[in-house]
Amino acid sequence: MLIELFTDYTLRNVALGSALLGIVSGALGCFAVLRRQGLLGDALAHAALPGICVAFLLTGSKAPLVLLIGAALAGWLATLLLLTVVRETRLSTDSALAIVLSTFFGFGIVLLTFISRSGSANQAGLDKFLFGQAATLVAEDVQTMGLLGAAALLILAALHKEFKLLAFDAEFAASLGFPARGLSVLLTSLIVIAIVIGLQTVGVVLMAAMLVGPAVAARQWTNRLGVMVMLAAVFGAASGVSGALISVSEANTPTGPVIILSLTVIVLGSLFFAPARGLVWDAIRRRQQRAERLSD
Amino acid sequence: MSSAMVILLTGVLVAIACALSGAFLILRRMAMMVDAISHAILPGLVAGYFLAQGPDLLAGFAGAVLAAVLTVSLVEALQNTGRMAGESAIGIVFPAMFALGTFIVSRYFANVHLDADAILYGNIEFAPFDLLYINGVNLGPQSLWVMSGLCLMNALFVSLLYKELKVATFDPGLAAALGFSPALIHYALMAVVSITTVGAFTAVGAILVVALFVVPAATAWLLTDRLAVMIALAAAIGALSAVSGYIVASALDASVAGSIATMTGVFFGLAFLFAPQHGLVARARRLQRQRVEFGVQTLLVHLLNHEQSPNRQAESAIGHLSSELRWSASFARRITRKAAQADLLRRSGDDLSLTTQGRTEAESARMAEQSDAR
């Protein structure tokens, strides 16, 4: 199996693509989670659909890069609208997220059905973004994903101090003269890149977990941001690769859902058994304390 | 009944059912919980299918409602561990449930028709062909019966528990002090929302359910400050979105559910821009009016302060106003014009002097300012 990982063309692409997604979304997800924007990724993933459709309608091309640019632009527009609604109305962030998510996606579905019924008929490549089809990844896709992901990670590394400050105390950052708003937009843009990478692999619905899961799992093991980001990347990559391996070795197992299920196992394991914060140790400690108190 | 009529009516009924309890979801900041529920019921539907050995309305319903309750409890349990924020808990639970559902479907029901697209955006288009039979008697389209039931349930829930819901939403502490448990109300709301979601799921799919619950209610909240009016408006906007969405979908030959969701967004956008009190345009105009009013007041007080001073004339020149009050020349001219129009000052050339009315107004403004300062 492990040798096939390096020799089998399909398996290598699927595993590489999923690992890339895990690393990028794991690292970036840490900042989203710490800024309490865990579900932003969910909204942006849904909002990307109309962007993909419009890009196809305008260019007639299904090249990954064209569709991904469409997705990124739509994600951007959605972010902008989201921030405007939160700033200008009394609606909560949570309502604004749900509004943007569902109306953008609804419009995307209108476009998708319009495209498929208007006879151009080769929309077949578009609906794989709904559920993701890691199994259809080819070397070209993986290269595009690798380039995008590397760019996102480089920016993250270059600005990690600024992002750290933004994540823990945005007002302090602003008072020090950092362009807090610009940094926030940049960070969101990087998250859009992670989503764009994820759409082809795990699809719209499961993307939320790829951002939130690794970060929450990593948080249980450490109190240091740097370690948390590294760990989240490792957890993301591990669930990506194990998902790919399991789904290829067993018949009738879709890659995306298996990746998310592996990730869920990691999250639950960390939640219960992480050294300092694990719930199991908590429960044991409490029981001991009660026993001590009773014996006193 | 024509099939177009059945689709239209189904859409309207779903929209109204969702909008009724949607108002409380907006006010209680639980909009994304609906998103979680609507995705997480998939494994429940699958389990129902498995137990009933085929598509069965009741088994599917029971499984899905159980899954919904499980989702809400799991999210709350994760939040209560204190190890993660609320929205992170949602972001972990529902993808896991959804992944479990799709996993089981593709692994064990690979040959069964459980259409993936239908899960995401429903198949309201098939509503006219899915007929309800009881003891072999054809009772018409099943969707109409289900959705009417849901509408009735939501209407009863909201009207019978109106006071309780209102108090528990706006002041949970008072609700507890008055002797009814906010937690009980919370779970009752979650149960009603779950059942409604499951019913609406078959018509409009997992994601568009969210649009129907959240968007009309949010739109209504931008239009009114009264809860009862908000609920009624939400239902009306939901119904309007369903009708206009159906018309758009027929014109474009596109998905009906998608069009309905898009129309809810269009109505929200209109309210966001043009709502009488809370709309962007109304607020910009209010701000503008206040700026002018304040400017006129400032000008009057300035003139009053310098009325006795020897260089009164220089103090009132437009150029001086803009440097002393830090106004642009055009703003200074505009304020002067407004004040003159309101007969608060007289201008002869560059010289401005207060009218009697203007002086009274300036004196009262100055007194208000002084008492504020004190």
pLDDT of residue B324: 78
Nearest Cβ partner of B103 from A46, A127, A254? A254
ipTM for the complex shown:
0.89
Euclidean distance between CA atoms A90 and B230, whole angstroms: 14
Question: A34: nearest CA in chain B?
Answer: B85
Across the interface, whether the CB atoms of B95 and A104 are under 8 A apart is answered no
Whether residue B117 is predicted with pLDDT greater than 50 in this model: the reply is yes
Q: Is A104 on the interface with B (CB under 8 A)?
A: yes
Q: Is B111 on the interface with A (CB under 8 A)?
A: no
Euclidean distance between CA atoms A232 and A216, whole angstroms: 8
Helix axis angle, B227-252 to B182-223, nearest 10°: 60
User: Any idea which residue has 């919370």 for tokens?
Assistant: B186
A240-276 residue pLDDT tens: 999 888 887 877 778 888 999 999 999 999 999 988 8
Cβ proximity of A165 and A173 under 8 Å:
yes
Backbone dihedral angles phi then psi of residue B142, each to the nearest 5 degrees: -65, -40
Nearest Cβ partner of A257 from B32, B99, B208? B99
Across the interface, whether the CB atoms of A102 and B207 are under 8 A apart is answered yes
Across the interface, whether the CB atoms of B221 and A90 are under 8 A apart is answered yes
**What integer is the mean pLDDT of B308-323?**
71
Whether residue B118 is predicted with pLDDT greater than 70 in this model: the reply is no
Query: What value, to the nearest 5°, has the Cα angle with vertex A291 and ends A287 and A294?
Result: 140
Of B234-243, B255-264, B348-357, the least confident: B348-357
Confidence of residue A121 (pLDDT cuts 50, 70, 90): very low
- Residue A276 per-residue DSSP state: T
> Mean pLDDT, chain B, as a whole number?
85
**What integer is the mean pLDDT of B206-235?**
91
- Best of B35, B71, B80, B263 to mutate (most A CBs within 10 Å, chain A): B35
Whether residue A54 is predicted with pLDDT greater than 50 in this model: the reply is yes
Residues of B with CB below 8 A from A215's CB? 88
Q: Is B63 on the interface with A (CB under 8 A)?
A: no
Nearest Cβ partner of A103 from B96, B211, B249? B211
Across the interface, whether the CB atoms of A91 and B218 are under 8 A apart is answered yes
Nearest Cβ partner of A260 from B30, B96, B208? B96
Q: Is A46 on the interface with B (CB under 8 A)?
A: yes
Nearest Cβ partner of A110 from B106, B215, B262? B262
Residues of B with CB below 8 A from A29's CB? none
Q: Is B24 on the interface with A (CB under 8 A)?
A: no
Euclidean distance between CA atoms A97 and A95, whole angstroms: 5
Q: Where does chain B hold its CATH 1.10.3470.10 domain(s)? A: 3-275
**What integer is the mean pLDDT of B241-262?**
91
**What integer is the mean pLDDT of A137-142?**
81
How far, CA to CA in Å, does A88 sit from each of A5, A91, A238?
51, 9, 41
Nearest alpha-carbon partner for A19 in A129, A145, A136: A145
Which residues on neighbouring strands pair with residue B347, listed in sequence order? B352
pLDDT of residue A29: 92
For residue B251, give the amino acid letter. Answer: A
How many CA atoms lie less than 13 Å away from B280 in the CB half-sphere? 11
Residues of B with CB below 8 A from A243's CB? none
Whether residue A71 is predicted with pLDDT greater than 60 in this model: the reply is yes
Q: Where does chain B hold its CATH 1.10.10.10 domain(s)? A: 281-366
CA distance A277 to chain B (A): 8
CB within 8 Å of chain A, chain B residues 142-201: none
User: Any idea which residue has 């499980």 for tokens?
Assistant: B70
pLDDT of residue A2: 62
Q: Is B276 on the interface with A (CB under 8 A)?
A: no
Nearest Cβ partner of B99 from A38, A97, A261? A261
Q: For chain B, what is the largest distance between any 2 Cα atoms, rounded to a whole number of angstroms?
A: 102
Interchain CB contacts (distance < 8 Å): A and B: 206
Euclidean distance between CA atoms A131 and A201, whole angstroms: 8
Tell me which of 1.10.287.3510, 2.60.40.10, 1.10.10.10, 3.30.590.20 is the CATH number of domain B281-366. 1.10.10.10
Across the interface, whether the CB atoms of A36 and B85 are under 8 A apart is answered yes
Q: Which domain holds residue A111?
A: 2-295
**What integer is the mean pLDDT of A101-110?**
92
Confidence of residue B313 (pLDDT cuts 50, 70, 90): low
Nearest Cβ partner of A99 from B248, B253, B268? B268
A14-51 residue pLDDT tens: 888 889 999 999 999 999 999 888 888 888 988 988 99
B254-308 residue pLDDT tens: 888 899 999 999 999 999 999 888 888 988 999 999 998 888 888 888 888 887 7
pLDDT of residue B264: 95
CA distance B13 to chain A (A): 18
Of A105-119, A132-146, B120-134, B321-335, the least confident: B120-134
Whether residue B242 is predicted with pLDDT greater than 90 in this model: the reply is yes
Whether residue A120 is predicted with pLDDT greater than 60 in this model: the reply is no
| CATH class entry, domain B3-275 | mainly alpha
Number of domains in chain A: 1
Query: Per the structure block, which two tokens stand in for B329?
Result: 């020349």
Confidence of residue B111 (pLDDT cuts 50, 70, 90): low
Whether residue B11 is predicted with pLDDT greater than 50 in this model: the reply is yes
B58-92 residue pLDDT tens: 787 888 888 988 998 899 899 888 888 878 899 99
How many CA atoms lie less than 13 Å away from B306 in the CB half-sphere? 19
Residue with the larger pLDDT of the pair A139 and A18? A18
pLDDT of residue B87: 85
Across the interface, whether the CB atoms of B91 and A109 are under 8 A apart is answered no
Cβ proximity of B87 and A36 under 8 Å:
yes
CATH for A116: 1.10.3470.10
Across the interface, whether the CB atoms of B83 and A279 are under 8 A apart is answered yes
CB within 8 Å of chain B, chain A residues 216-275: 216, 219-220, 252-254, 256-258, 260-261, 264, 267, 271
Nearest Cβ partner of A106 from B32, B39, B261? B261
Confidence of residue A6 (pLDDT cuts 50, 70, 90): low
Question: B281: nearest CA in chain A?
Answer: A88
CA distance B5 to chain A (A): 20
**What integer is the mean pLDDT of A206-221?**
92
Q: Is residue B116 classed exposed, middle or buried when 0-12, 13-18 and 19+ CB atoms within 10 A define those classes?
A: middle
